[in-house]
Amino acid sequence: MRSLFFANFIDDQSSITNQLIPMKIFNYSPAPPPPPSAFLQLVSNAVAQLKQKLQRDYEQAYPHLREIIHLILDQEESNAWKLSIFPHLVFPDLVESHVARLNLQPAATKHYDVFVPRQTDETPFFQPALALCG
C-alpha cells in the first residue's frame, strides 16, 4: 500500500512541473521619478535666497555693473537648474566662473551668519612627539 501512495505522489509532482508559469516583465524606465513638490519648493526658496545674497554681494563689489550682474545671475541660475537637482550647491560656483571669464574678481560672498560658529572649547589637536632612540 505504501508504494501505491508513493507512486501517486510522484505522479502528482510530475503534473505540476509540466505547467507553464507566466513570467512577469517589469517596465524599466531609466529616468528617475520626479521629486516631490515640497522638495522642489524648498530648493526653489533656497536658490532665491542665495540669488538675492549673491546679487547684493556682487553689486556692492561692482556697483557700475548692476545690469550685467543681473544677467549673469539669471543665466547661471538657469544653468544650475539644468545641471543638478540641487542647484543651490552649484549656483555660486557657476556665477564665480562666469565673473572670472569677464576678468573680474569674485565678490566676497562669505556669510558667516549662515554657518554654525566653531566652538573653541573643543579638545585640542595633539601632534605626535618624535622619539629618538639611541
Chain segment 96-119, per-residue pLDDT in tens = 999 999 998 888 766 555 444 445
Task: Write the CB contacts of 84 (distance below 8 Å, at least 6 apart in sequence).
Answer: 90
Q: Contact at 8 Å (CB) between 50 and 69?
A: no
Q: What are the boundaries of each domain within the chain?
A: 37-108
pLDDT value at position 27?
Answer: 67
- Distance separating alpha carbons of residues 32 and 44, to the nearest angstrom: 19
pLDDT value at position 39?
Answer: 85
- Distance separating alpha carbons of residues 115 and 97, to the nearest angstrom: 23
Distances (CA, A) of 108 to 36, 53, 55, 57, 112: 34, 11, 11, 7, 11
